[in-house]
A and B are shown apart, each in its own frame.
Chain A
């Protein structure tokens, strides 16, 4: 089975500063990786995903993430934080069908991004 670890339950940045949210995964087969954002009282919304190909993935709202197999990481970054980025962020992992891993998507515990004016 796959697993995901999100380092830091809370990350606090100033508006305009770099955002870095950390995600490390464990998988016995090449994974598919996702970042979702959740605003209060709403469901999760996909920010970006990595399946195959280019390891630097660009998503919505200026976010991007880089798949690093050697580090088993998929950290989320944004060059300049906006107040509207304040939300809960979840990293998730699954695997392609037929590769032998569990197809059940596994989510991390989430990281709350706090943006100060």
Chain B
């Protein structure tokens, strides 16, 4: 079956532009996580959805970051007024139930802010 997909795979934005990153989780997966992965680092938690409910957004770096999952499937991570420090790979992962289950990761979106 299809895995987790993310689009676009690569995004170049000029500083100050808004960007929207999309995640299509595996069908039927309840939980969805967004992570930020800086070069040479492990994934850092951004936010967590259980179905359409955003249960935790404590990892979002600033109020320029916003995530939604309105129908409990596809999720969008939006970054407003991008800054150079936002350059990273943004990973989406879904799991069948909760964080104790295996997470299935998408390939990520590499964001470069110039």
Closest Cβ neighbor of B107 among chain A residues: A43
Interface size on B, residues (CB 8 A): 25
- Assuming the A-B contacts A32-B100, A44-B91, A96-B100, are A107 and B107 also in contact, with contact meaning beta carbons closer than 8 angstroms in the complex? no
C-alpha spacing A71/B100, complex, angstroms:
22
Query: Known interface pairs A49-B102, A94-B100, A105-B33. Does A41 touch B107 (Cβ–Cβ under 8 Å)?
Result: yes
Q: Give how many A residues have a beta carbon under 8 Å from the other chain's beta carbons.
A: 26
Which of chain A's residues have a CB closer than 8 A to the CB of B105? 36, 43-45
Q: Return A64 CB to nearest CB of chain B, in Å.
A: 17
Select the residue from A42, A95, A96, A107 with max chain B CB neighbours within 10 A. A107
Interface residue ranges, B against A (CB under 8 Å): 4, 33, 35, 40-45, 48, 56, 58-59, 91, 93, 98-100, 102-108
Extra contacts, 4 of them, besides A43-B108, A45-B105, A104-B58 (Cβ < 8 A), are A42-B107, A42-B108, A95-B100, A110-B42
Q: Decide yes or no: A109 and B42 within 8 Å by CB, A43-B4, A96-B100, A103-B98 being known contacts.
A: yes
- What separation, in Å, do the CA atoms of A103 and B104 have in the docked complex? 17
Please, which residues of chain A bring their CB within 8 A of the CB of B48? 104
Q: Which residue of chain A lies nearest to B38 when distances are taken between CB atoms in the complex?
A: A109
Rounded to whole Å, the gap between the CB of B6 and the closest CB of chain A is: 8
Q: Is A27 an interface residue (CB 8 A)?
A: no
State whether the Cβ of A77 lies closer than 8 Å to any Cβ in chain B.
Answer: no
For A95, what are the chain B residues with a Cβ–Cβ distance below 8 Å?
100
Residue of A nearest to B105 (CB): A43
Report whether A104 and B99 are in contact in the complex, using a CB–CB cutoff of 8 Å: yes
Once bound together, how far apart are the Cα atoms of A99 and B29, in whole Å? 23
Closest to A106 in B: B45
Question: Assuming A41-B107, A43-B108, is B41 touching A109 (CB within 8 A)?
Answer: yes
* Structural contact, B98 and A97, CB atoms closer than 8 A: yes
CB neighbours (8 Å) of A109 from chain B are 40-42
Per-residue contact bits, chain A 34-65, to B (CB 8 Å; 1 contact, 0 not)? 10100001111110010100000000000000
